[in-house]
Amino acid sequence: MTYHEDLARIVDDIVAPQASRVDQEGAFPEKAVAELAAAGLLGLTVPAGLGGGGLGLAAAAGVVRRLSAACGSTAMVVTMHYAATAVLAATRREDALREIAWGRHLTTLAFSEAGSRSHFWSPVGTAVPEGGDVVLDARKSWVTSAHYADSYVWSSRPVAAGGPMSLWFVPAGRPGLSVARGFDGLGLRGNDSCAVTAEGVRVARTDLLGGDGAGLDIAMATALPWFLLLNASCGVGLMQAVTAATAEHLTGARLQHLDQSLARQLPSRTKLARMRIETDRTRALVAAAVAALEEGRADAGLLALEAKAAADESAAEVADTAMAACGGSAFRKELPVERRFRDSRAARVMAPTTDALLDFVGRALCGLPLLDA
């Protein structure tokens, strides 16, 4: 059985049937994640030499797009796992990668902080040498899978080197780590995005990922492109799902006094057409950006920035249009439009926010550095 077949089975049997409950209860999709791990899908991007699937960003994007069409929360958990796994692969953290390949490890990024908010590139959390170890102190915010991850790819200020950031492999459950109570938000309600606080958390110097002070370079070269394009792929999956749901509603609902379906109304068809065009246009941009990154093209970084910015806006626009096209029915939870409408709001505030991405794109076009010194 191919991973595509495994993915289809898990989505059809577990992810889709549980999506409403995950949303309504704010429940972490534990069963779905466990099945994805057991089927090797969480290890899909781990190098083959370490027991993983050996596949790249394009495969990961396809997985999260398919998951997002069924459940945005599950897709976001896997997005953050793949982005963190990419960092572990780039920094050769082989012990963790083998655990991921064997289906025994879920990881995630822990970049954003209460002190610097969405400016993930400027951590205020510290890493202080003490004996042979390093002590971490930080107030992380919006850590996906916070209660369920087995490890965090953690950012801090450097121990001694210049530069704004170092990265660490931090196993969950270390003394001094505490996770805030469960996430209760507008959308993506099952992704367990919670604050994680480190107070005197000891890690080994060998838990440093890359060199001291090299964290921003690693984040910009690896974590950021993977996060941007997987997040954008989530947006495409959402748009595809909400467009399909709208088409189903328009063809199934009837105006009895005219003996016509809503699909016979020109305004409804026009809205649906605009949704499909925006979905296809965004999917093409995301696919082009993924291909550029995998080919190592010079424009890959710019396209990745563009792709998330475009998907952020397009997902919200398509969900808005779906609400208008479906009318009052869309406000009821029986129609799977209202959930997608709420989920579509999240991407624009995920760091880098849409405003930050537009600034980055503008800077790149003007030949300016993305970040001020």
Chain region(s) in the chain for CATH 2.40.110.10: 110-211
Residue range 167-196, pLDDT digits in tens? 999 999 999 999 999 899 999 999 999 999
* CATH 1.10.540.10 domain extents, the chain: 3-106
Cα–Cα distances in angstroms (integers) from residue 210 to residues 14, 66, 98, 165, 217, in the given order: 38, 32, 18, 11, 10
Looking at residue 139, what is its pLDDT? 97
The class of domain 216-365 in CATH terms is mainly alpha
The pTM of the full predicted model, rounded to 2 decimals, is 0.97
Residue 276, helix vs strand vs coil = helix
pLDDT (tens digit per residue) in 71-91: 999 999 999 999 999 999 999
Closest CA to 60 of 229, 251, 293, 174: 229
Evaluate whether the domain defined by 110-211 bears CATH number 3.30.2390.10.
no
Share of the chain above pLDDT 90, in %: 89
Indicate where the chain has its CATH 1.20.140.10 domain(s). 216-365
Give CA separation, 90 vs 45, 124, 219, in Å: 12, 24, 10
pLDDT of residue 373: 61
pLDDT, tens digit, for every residue of 226-248?
A: 999 999 999 999 999 999 999 99
- CA dist., res. 291 & res. 59, Å (int): 11
The confidence band for 367, taking pLDDT boundaries of 50, 70 and 90, is very high
Q: What's the pLDDT band for 335 if we cut at 50, 70, 90?
A: confident
Quick one: pLDDT band at residue 260, thresholds 50, 70, 90?
confident
Hey, what CATH class is 3-106 in?
A: mainly alpha
Does residue 360 surpass a pLDDT of 70? yes
Q: Which residues are CB-contacts of 292 (< 8 A; sequence separation ≥ 6)?
A: 299, 300, 303, 304
